[in-house]
Structure 1
Amino acid sequence: MVCPTGNGKPPRGFTLIELLVVLAIVSLLLTLAVPRYFQSIDKSKEVVLRENLQITRSAIDKFYADTGRYPDSLDELVEKHYLRSLPIDPVLDSTSAWNLITAEVEHGSGIYDLKSTAEGSTADGKLFSSL
């Protein structure tokens, strides 16, 4: 075999077949990994949503226990240092997209509970708005 470089050494590099085999292996691995990656992102958003709802509801209860009334807004919980910042809805990526539920008249006015306004459901079939 005559060497095209002229120095007696064979040319260095990969053949087209070798590159195609490597690309096929990489694409096979990606088809297995990418769906699991997106499932884990969705699952983490559900966990963060549940945690934010639980923490905010707890702060509302503590505010009511301390003052005898419910807060007029979520901003009031932040101003009075019951929360460090407004809770975020990770599904909608928003701090203002909450469905605020006001208290019944006998308990005074103010925010009694909050729910997500995100459409869709969790992995176990519950609606985001019912969490």
Structure 2
Amino acid sequence: MRSRGFTMIELLVTLAILGFLVAVAAPRYFGNMDRAKEDVLREDLYVMRDAIDKFYADRGHYPDALDDLVKEHYLRKIPIDPFTQSARSWVPVPPADPSLGAVADVRSGAPNTGRDGTWLKDW
């Protein structure tokens, strides 16, 4: 009677197949992660810019800080930048006329570039 079990060749073939599947799937996974982060960043920027515009339309001046958008209920909370993993890394852009407030626009503080080669801080 032969003892039951797998031979070394069967184990190596199985590991080679698994290694091949991981090698094919890993780049797609990480590519999708980067694309998802960029999509979240675009949406967060759109929502914050929309809140800034509504604040300006209602009050006639821009907010003095991003936290004013939360205090005045234009946002529930400041979103977390998906690349820096922080809600404090947003870079406020002042208006041309400083008497109108301090935050006319907002940009990401991430030092990365997007998939299209543009800097995330310029979006």
Q: Normalising by the residue count of structure 2, what TM-score does the alignment of the two structures yield? A: 0.94
Q: Paired residue for 1:84, among 62, 76, 92?
A: 76
**Contact 2:66–2:92 (Cα < 8 Å) also in 1:** no
Question: Could you say which residue in structure 1 is the equivalent of 2:111?
Answer: 119
Aligned residue pairs, count: 123
Q: Kindly indicate whether residue 53 of structure 2 is the aligned counterpart of residue 23 of structure 1.
A: no
Q: Would you say the 8 A contact 2:78–2:87 is kept in 1? A: yes
Q: 2:86 aligns with which of 94, 97, 100?
A: 94
| CA distance in 2: counterparts of 1:38 and 1:80, whole angstroms | 38
Determine whether 1:65 maps to 2:57. Answer: yes
- Unmatched tracts of structure 1, length 5 or more: 4-9
CA shift, 1:81, in A, is 1.1
What is the RMSD computed on CA atoms of the aligned residues?
A: 1.2
Q: CA deviation at 1:47?
A: 0.5
Per the normalisation by structure 1, the TM-score is 0.89
Distance 2:38 2:72 in 1: 28
2: CA distance between counterparts of 1:43 and 1:81? 30
Residue 19 of structure 2 is aligned to residue 34 of structure 1: no
For the pair 1:43 / 2:35, whether they are aligned, the reply is: yes
Which contiguous aligned blocks of 4+ residues in structure 1 show a shift greater than 6 angstroms? Answer: none
Aligned counterpart in structure 2 of residue 14 of structure 1, from 6, 30, 37: 6
Aligned to 1:7: none
What is the rounded CA distance, in whole Å, between the counterparts of 1:130 and 1:102 in structure 2?
A: 15
